[in-house]
Chains A and B, each alone.
Chain A
Amino acid sequence: MELLVCIKRVPMVGGRIAVTADGLAVDTKMLGFTVSPHEECAVEEAIRVTERHGGSVTVLTLGPPEAAEQLRDALALGAHRAVLLETDGREWGPAATAAAIVAAIRDREATAGRFDLLLFGNEAADSADYQVGIRVARALGLPCVTAVKQLEADPAGGPEGAAGRLVARREHRGATEAFAVALPAVVTVKEGINLPRYPSLPGRMRARKAPLDTAAASFTPDPLERRKLRVPTSDRKGAEILGRGPDAVPALVDLLDEMGVLA
């Protein structure tokens, strides 16, 4: 199977996020960058599919030249090819991002054949727009399942003319929702679908030398115009200590009773 995984380079933030002096960006001076967690799982899932069914994994990102680092991370794990849609570093909105990805996919499919499965992270760690994968699916006329926590791809199944089928599962309010769709399809996955592997040293060494396909992407502004980023303030003053060890339990149970959760 031929798989495409779209990933995003995001800063590896700590507990409190620092904002630049102008309030318009996350201060990344002292931060590393990573692939968004949901997308790390998408890469892992794609590699597992090819390990099982053969084929290859292409990773694609839209980002600054430095996003090559995240593509190499994916290559080190076992992705086969990487595409960098290179931006000038400005932040793209979801609609423009989806459009650029669609164009790149059409471009590649015209020469290299169709992708059977397109994987996205359910939402990016930073912007959490929850729509790029859906917009891409709609534009390409493909079925789309989001928030997927379990995936079984079968290249042999599916109706006549399909590239196979997949069953995707997710949780919604305590129940499992299952979707069976024909391939090609778009799936956006959530962390927890798998435990992503770590790169091996030989993997890193290969990724270091691997070629990247790079194409320029020209910026389209988003209707959402940022005014300011800020860290939410908390008016909490710290916990009232009920006591130490098991001796504190009666006080705790009284408290639970007051809260009305013992009923």
Chain B
Amino acid sequence: MTVLCLVELDEGRVADASLRALRLARDLAGPAASLAVAIAPPADPAALGTEGPVLAELGDQGVATVLLLETDGLAPGAYAPAALARGLASATAELGAVLVLAPANTHGQEILGHLAAIADLPFVANCTTATWEEPGVLTLTRQRWGGSLLEDARLAAPAALLSVATDAVTPAPAVTPTTPTVLVHRYRVEAGELDVVATTEPGESGGVALSNARVVVSGGRGVGGPEGFGELEELARLLGGAVGVSRVVTSLGWRPHREQVGQTGTKVTPELYLACGISGAVQHLAGCQGARHMVAINTDADAPIMARADYAVIGDVSEVLPVLVREVRARKERAGR
């Protein structure tokens, strides 16, 4: 029996979201089943290498098998969700995998969606926990409403697909590391499955991606206007982070939608979430509940964000932020960072 997990690479390392999905996959595999990963989009086998950081990282996670999906017409690193799902279906059949997991992000869920359709399997999205009630029966919890509501459910199926709510699962290494075996799995695509292939264009921001930023400096209505975001951008730059915004800010047309954090925007899992002038509507908090630390700057000590933040500064963003930027810059210069 095998539990298969989809893994994505990020600049030559296992992506953080994938590590979180792996945690749940490993728990479900337990001692009884073997943990396999499929790298998607597939890496160049040569680039992986046996000593490479990726294999070591996967070994730390207790992964037994690493699959490199290969088919004609799709170069390593190329992203074609329908084809990759076909490859996974083929690998799943070959390995006899009973579960396929993936992080609940765009690639992971898209591939699972295709796989569900191909293999006619149930696909449960945004799981936070899952355990075997008995063979073939899972007890699981998943997020609804962007995490504002949890659903406890039971899934009886010989095989199933789960996407993992990455903001609800913390990555952890396996007790017993392994040395993964790398297998190249060749598969054949069906008609049309290579018609949808991603072409990557450089991101507009050019900076750190919001979804996996270590620091998110986020602004709400309390920033005062589009001009106020200059300080946020500067602070994000100094902290090596990304700028996020609340929904009202995009609705007002102050910032582009891609920066929106929340239930209908991006979900973030940074070390620090700095909420500037954000009152803290639950739809917004749903997007940043995975933050390790939350700090709020707000004029209103009774705003809902205060209940969720770890620390707060009571004050006007336009007064606090310029001083903060100056101080951070000075501190970094002093430390020679």
Establish whether A and B are touching in the complex (CB under 8 Å). yes
Cβ-based interface call for B146 (8 A): yes
Instruction: Check: A104 CB closer than 8 A to any chain B CB.
Output: no
Name B125's contact: one of A130, A245, A248 (CB within 8 Å).
Answer: A130
CA distance A49 to B148 in the complex (A): 34
Would you call A126 and B113 a contact (CB within 8 A)?
A: no
The answer to whether residues A176 and B151 also contact, given A129-B123, A240-B310, A262-B335 and a CB cut-off of 8 A, is: no
**Is chain A's interface secondary structure helix, strand, loop, or mixed overall?**
mixed
| Inter-subunit contact A178/B258 (CB<8 Å) | no
The interface size of chain A toward B, counting residues with CB under 8 Å, comes to 88
Task: Answer yes or no: B309 CB below 8 A from chain A CBs.
Answer: yes
Q: Which segment, of B67-75, B93-101, B222-230, B322-330, faces chain A?
A: B322-330
- Is the pair A128, B126 in contact by a Cβ cutoff of 8 Å? yes
Q: Do B203 and A242 touch (CB < 8 A)?
A: no
Interface residue stretch chosen among B20-28, B48-56, B170-178, B264-272:
B264-272
Pairwise interchain contact B258-A192, C-beta atoms closer than 8 A: yes
CB-CB under 8 A for A229 and B323, given A128-B144, A173-B212, A224-B155: no
With A138-B118, A173-B10 as contacts: A234 and B308 at CB distance below 8 Å: yes
Contact of B258 among A93, A98, A171, A195 (CB under 8 A): A171
Q: Tell me, rounded to whole Å, the shortest Cβ–Cβ distance linking B120 to chain A.
A: 8
Give Cα distance in the complex from A29 to B166, angstroms. 32
B124 contact set on A, CB distance < 8 A: 224
Inter-chain CA distance A249–B311, complex, in Å, is 12
Q: A144-B82, A178-B199, A256-B328 are in contact. Are A230 and B117 (CB under 8 A)?
A: no
In angstroms, Cα B303 to Cα A241, docked, is: 13
Q: Residue-by-residue, is A167-188 near B (CB-CB < 8 Å gives 1, otherwise 0)?
A: 0011111111111111000000
> Is B316 among interface residues, defined by CB-CB distance under 8 A?
yes
Residues in B whose Cβ lies below 8 Å from that of A16:
148, 282
* B residues contacting the other copy or chain, number (CB 8 A): 107
Minimum CB–CB distance for B111 against chain A, Å: 10
| Docked complex Cα distance between A57 and B205 (Å) | 34
Nearest CB to that of A93 among chain B residues?
Answer: B122
Residues A177 and B149 in contact in the complex (CB < 8 Å), given A191-B264, A239-B310: no
**Given A149-B257, A225-B155: A245 touches B314 (CB 8 Å cut-off):** yes
Q: Which of A207-260 contact B (CB under 8 A)?
A: 222-232, 234, 236, 238-246, 248-250, 252-253, 255-257, 259-260
- Encode A92-125 as 1/0 by CB contact (under 8 A) with B: 0111001000000000000000000000000101
Within 8 A of A (CB), among B300-337: 301, 304-316, 319-320, 323-324, 327-328, 331-332, 335, 337
With A125-B263, A175-B203, A179-B198 already in contact, the answer to whether A223 and B156 are too (CB < 8 A) is yes
Task: Kindly provide the distance from the CB of A165 to the nearest chain B CB, expressed in whole angstroms.
Answer: 11
**Could you tell me the distance between the alpha carbons of A244 and B157 in the complex, rounded to whole angstroms?**
56
Whether A126 and B203, one on each chain, are in contact in the complex, defined by CB atoms closer than 8 angstroms, is no
**B residues 232-276 touching A (CB-CB < 8 Å):** 239-242, 250-251, 253, 256-258, 260, 263-265, 271-272
Within 8 A of B (CB), among A125-153: 125-131, 133-135, 137-139, 141, 143-147, 149
Q: Report chain A residues within 8 Å CB of B192.
A: 141, 143
Q: Is residue B201 within 8 Å, beta carbon to beta carbon, of the partner chain?
A: yes
**Chain B positions within 8 Å of A19 at CB level:** 149
Interface residues of B (CB under 8 A from A): 10, 15, 79, 81-82, 104-107, 109-110, 112-114, 116-118, 120, 122-126, 143-157, 160, 163, 192, 195-205, 207-212, 214-215, 239-242, 250-251, 253, 256-258, 260, 263-265, 271-272, 281-283, 292-293, 295-296, 301, 304-316, 319-320, 323-324, 327-328, 331-332, 335, 337
Task: Beyond A144-B81, A241-B314, list 5 extra A-B contacts (CB 8 Å).
Answer: A16-B282, A175-B201, A178-B198, A238-B309, A261-B240
